[in-house]
Amino acid sequence: MSDAPHAIVTGGAGFVGSHLVDSLLEDGFEVTSLDNFGSGRSANLEHIDTPRFESLEHDVREPFPDLGRVDYVFHFASRASPKDFESHAVEIALTNSEGTHNALEFARKNDARTVLASTSEVYGDPEVHPQHEEYNGNVNVRGPRAPYDESKRFSEALARAFQQQYDIDIRTVRIFNTYGPRMRPDDGRVIPNFLSQALRDDDLTIYGDGTQTRSFCYVSDLVSGIRSFADADPSVAAGEVINLGSTHEIEIRELAEVITEVLDTRSGTVHRESPEDDPQLRRPDLERAQSLLGWEPMVGLEDGIERTAEYFAEELESE
């Protein structure tokens, strides 16, 4: 192994994880991806051509293998699409509990700085808007989203427990809705659904009346925020939790309009039943990320949608 810093990325074959791997490799890191390829794809990593990268098939619910010297652990493994919250409920709950336990034990053994991927879902269907990091959230522990959002809350609590008991630096990012190339067309989240539908001239499926809001962040912006948080000096960032995402909040019915306009499609819209416990409003308060990191997202929604649509068009063509 060289002198380059060695980073482990769990979930490295997934959407966010593979972009994070690219960014670390560009900056000279050695990177090992651990992924079970459940929702990730080896195709997301096949463009990489450097001996500084290794992709291992590993389920984080099992203890991690010995990987030599490790400087950073980016723990990003977890299915994240609401479509999977029911069909893969137990897998998700255990990935974010047993899996996070294994990741944190591994980080402790290696004395590695850790970045834990949490989510805006820890705020549930929020009663405080926008959501700041001190808000404790409104989560239904018995609801259909609980396998994901409660287990992410447990991930965070376990990270705090490790910090309280052992002297390791764990930084938590609460990621708000992020989109971009390498999401799967059948992922089930709203932008992959709308783009796949628009590219086929099918109607866009709006769940409920479409007045619920989200704030969509392009993946390169998210990754730059994650990287600068990981690199920040421990005196300001050790053990911290920050929101990362976009503050450009729009209603889902407006998102449908943006996508039909940008893609110039013949698609209309069709309404479907609203999923139970669907959060009605979501927008991050980014004050902490801005003051700590000077970070804010740069890519506008239309621009990001265009870039993502190009990727989806290629994916759908090769199907």
- Which of ligand UDP, ligand NAD, none does 110 bind, CB closer than 5 to 8 A by kind? none
**Cis, peptide link before residue 130, omega less than 30° from 0:** yes
Helix segments in the chain, DSSP class H: 15-26, 84-87, 89-94, 100-110, 146-165, 190-199, 219-231, 234-237, 252-263, 287-293, 301-317
- Quick check: 275 binds ligand UDP (CB under 6 A)? yes
The answer to whether the beta carbons of residues 214 and 158 sit under 8 Å apart is no
From the list 91-99, 134-142, 202-210, 297-305, the region that binds ligand UDP by CB under 6 A is: 202-210
Q: What separation in angstroms does the CA of 104 have from each of 64, 107, 120, 161? A: 10, 5, 21, 10
- Quick check: 96 binds ligand UDP (CB under 6 A)? no
Residue 148 bears catalytic tag: yes
Helix segments in 232-300, DSSP class H: 234-237, 252-263, 287-293
Cα angle vertex 319, ends 183, 201, to 5°? Answer: 80
- Quick check: 163 binds ligand UDP (CB under 6 A)? no
List 7, 17, 181, 218, residue binding ligand NAD (CB under 6 A):
17
List 100, 131, 193, 308, residue binding ligand UDP (CB under 6 A):
193
List 32, 39, 110, 172, residue binding ligand NAD (CB under 6 A):
39
**Backbone torsions φ then ψ of 172, nearest 5 degrees:** -115, 130
- Which of ligand UDP, ligand NAD, none does 117 bind, CB closer than 5 to 8 A by kind? ligand NAD
The nearest distance, CB 212 to ligand UDP, in angstroms, is: 4
Contact track, ligand NAD, 158-177, x by CB under 6 A:
-----------------x-x
Task: Choose among 35, 103, 107, 99: nearest CA to 70.
Answer: 107
Count of residues in contact with ligand UDP, rule CB under 6 A: 13
Instruction: Identify the active-site residue in 148, 179, 207, 218.
Output: 148
For the record, the structure tokens of 7 come out as 């980073």
List 172, 212, 215, 246, residue binding ligand UDP (CB under 6 A):
212
**Site residues (CB under 6 A) for ligand NAD, limited to 59-88:** 59-61, 76-80
The answer to whether the beta carbons of residues 8 and 32 sit under 8 Å apart is yes
The answer to whether the beta carbons of residues 64 and 107 sit under 8 Å apart is no
List 7, 82, 99, 246, residue binding ligand NAD (CB under 6 A):
99
From the list 32-40, 134-142, 191-199, 303-311, the region that binds ligand NAD by CB under 6 A is: 32-40
The nearest distance, CB 266 to ligand NAD, in angstroms, is: 28
For the record, the structure tokens of 178 come out as 């992020």
- Quick check: 150 binds ligand NAD (CB under 6 A)? no
- Which of ligand UDP, ligand NAD, none does 206 bind, CB closer than 5 to 8 A by kind? ligand UDP
Q: What separation in angstroms does the CA of 33 have from each of 30, 119, 158? A: 10, 21, 22
- Active site (catalytic) residues: 148
Residues that bind ligand UDP (CB under 6 A): 82, 177, 189-190, 193, 205-207, 212, 214, 252, 275, 278
